[in-house]
């Protein structure tokens, strides 16, 4: 008999043709059968259930299975109808589950209560390494709880909080956590409500943090003041390799500050400044920095205000 290690049950969305079981979990019997199997299954390691109509009731059943299952390592519940109630059930399961390493909860209906429940689980869970909470409704209160968990959690390496309702207060809490956390390597905060104040808090953390390698702050409300603070951090930080600052409000002044940092930074390989307000002066300053920097391999300056003169200088460097 064939023993499955991966099961994918998703619906067809636009042009994405996948193993299709339309509305597979509208009926309680279907989820009951699956969860009962999970309680005894010894081979399944990956379960993808995105784009179904799993609500809290179904997730509560899955959570009960996770309390006893000891083989599943990846669970994808993206794009369903899961609210805080379902997440609270999952959080209780995570407190005792010993195998799950990746949990995808993007694009659901999770608010602060769900974030707080997951935070409590992260304080004791010892296996989860990747958590995707993007495209939800988590605000500063929920993120503050997650930040407290990060101060003691020593396994999570990737956290996606993009497209939520996070402002400077939440980022300040995350910054305090990053000062002591020594495992998180990737943090996505893109498309939130973060301004220079939040970025300044993050930069203080970057001066002492020695594990974060990828930071995404795209599509926020960051101007030159925040970027100048980031530049100071880049002069001493030796772990960050990717920094995404696209679609903000950065002008030539911010570009010049980053250029000064690039003259001494030895680790950054990718810098995204797409769609800002950087003019020729900023472009020329970055070009001069690249003449002495020997680590940066990708620089995105698309959709800025760099003149022909600045563009020519960059082309000469390339």
Instruction: Read off the pLDDT of residues 89-130 as tens digits, 9 standing for 90 and up.
Output: 999 999 999 999 999 999 999 999 999 999 999 999 999 999
pLDDT-derived band at 11 (thresholds 50, 70, 90) equals: very low
This model's pTM is above 0.85:
yes
pLDDT at 9: 58
pLDDT at 154: 98
User: What's the mean per-residue pLDDT of the chain?
Assistant: 91
DSSP assignment string, 89-117:
HHHHHHTT-SS--EEE--SSB--HHHHHH
Res. 22: pLDDT tops 80: no
- What's 68's DSSP letter? T
Per DSSP, what are the bridge partners of residue 165?
A: 139
Res. 14: pLDDT tops 50: no
Token pair belonging to 131? 């958590």
Average pLDDT over residues 4-18: 46
Res. 3: pLDDT tops 90: no
How large a percentage of the chain has pLDDT more than 70?
A: 87
pLDDT at 241: 99
Average pLDDT over residues 246-259: 98
CA distances from 206 to 160, 249, 308 (A): 18, 21, 35
Domains contained in the chain, CATH given: 6-317 (3.80.10.10)
pLDDT at 31: 78
pLDDT-derived band at 30 (thresholds 50, 70, 90) equals: confident
Token pair belonging to 237? 């930080």
Residue 62: in which H helix or E strand, if any?
Answer: helix 56-66
Residue 88: in which H helix or E strand, if any?
Answer: helix 84-94
Higher pLDDT, 213 or 20: 213
| Minimum mean pLDDT range among 26-40, 117-131, 181-195, 262-276 | 26-40
Res. 20: pLDDT tops 80: no
Res. 26: pLDDT tops 60: no
How large a percentage of the chain has pLDDT more than 90?
A: 82
SS3 string, 26-47, reads: CCHHHHHHHHHHHHHCCCCCEE
pLDDT-derived band at 294 (thresholds 50, 70, 90) equals: very high
pLDDT at 32: 76
> What digits encode the pLDDT tens for the residues 148-198?
999 999 999 999 999 999 999 999 999 999 999 999 999 999 999 999 999
pLDDT-derived band at 19 (thresholds 50, 70, 90) equals: very low
């Amino acid at each position: 008999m064939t023993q499955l290690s991966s099961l994918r049950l998703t619906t067809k969305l636009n042009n994405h043709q996948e193993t299709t079981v339309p509305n597979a979990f509208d009926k309680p019997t279907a989820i009951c059968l699956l969860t009962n199997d999970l309680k005894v299954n010894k081979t399944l390691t990956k379960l993808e259930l995105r784009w179904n109509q799993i609500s809290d009731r179904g997730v509560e059943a899955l959570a009960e299975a996770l309390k006893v299952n000891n083989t599943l390592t990846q669970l994808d519940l993206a794009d369903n109808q899961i609210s805080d109630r379902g997440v609270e059930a999952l959080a209780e399961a995570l407190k005792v589950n010993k195998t799950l390493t990746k949990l995808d909860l993007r694009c659901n209906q999770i608010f602060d209560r769900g974030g707080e429940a997951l935070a409590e689980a992260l304080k004791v869970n010892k296996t989860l390494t990747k958590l995707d909470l993007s495209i939800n409704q988590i605000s500063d209160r929920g993120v503050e709880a997650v930040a407290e968990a990060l101060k003691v959690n020593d396994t999570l390496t990737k956290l996606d909080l993009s497209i939520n309702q996070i402002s400077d207060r939440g980022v300040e809490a995350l910054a305090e956590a990053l000062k002591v956390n020594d495992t998180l390597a990737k943090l996505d905060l893109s498309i939130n409500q973060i301004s220079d104040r939040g970025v300044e808090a993050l930069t203080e953390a970057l001066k002492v943090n020695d594990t974060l390698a990828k930071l995404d702050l795209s599509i926020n409300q960051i101007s030159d003041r925040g970027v100048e603070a980031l530049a100071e951090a880049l002069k001493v930080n030796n772990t960050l390799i990717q920094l995404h600052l696209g679609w903000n409000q950065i002008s030539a002044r911010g570009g010049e500050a980053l250029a000064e940092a690039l003259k001494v930074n030895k680790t950054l390989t990718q810098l995204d400044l797409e769609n800002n307000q950087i003019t020729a002066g900023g472009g020329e300053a970055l070009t001069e920095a690249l003449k002495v920097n020997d680590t940066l391999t990708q620089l995105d300056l698309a959709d800025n205000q760099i003149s022909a003169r600045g563009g020519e200088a960059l082309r000469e460097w390339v």
